[in-house]
Amino acid sequence: MTQGFVAQYASEAALQIDGVVSLVPSFAVALKEKAGVVHEGKGVRVVFHDTDDSTVSITVYPVISYGKIIPEVAWLVQERVKHDVERFTGLTVESVDVYVCGVKEKE
């Protein structure tokens, strides 16, 4: 199973949370996209553990909707991403870190 495959599930799960406006791709992903490389799971970083290929750590970089309570939205993102990735991939999610990259009015 690839990092991109897992990242895609995590990305879709995070974007379904009320209060998440978008996900912010990392600088490296932005460069790859400018070079024409398609990257799955924008705004999500997946790391497989060295000792166990069935365990992952996930980092999500959301932009939160103005007026929402940021810690509550972050908690919901953590719960949903962990649940969906474990359910659809069979992997064990050790951690889901959420780094809020901004607040924006919902369009």
> What pLDDT was estimated at residue 1?
79
* Closest CA relative to residue 55, chosen from 91, 89, 27, 80: 91
User: Between helices 70-89 and 3-15, what is the axis angle to 10°?
Assistant: 140
**Token pair for residue 42?**
């924008």
The residue ranking higher by pLDDT, 78 or 43, is 78
pLDDT at residue 4, rounded to an integer? 87
Confidence of residue 106 (pLDDT cuts 50, 70, 90): low
pTM exceeds 0.95? no
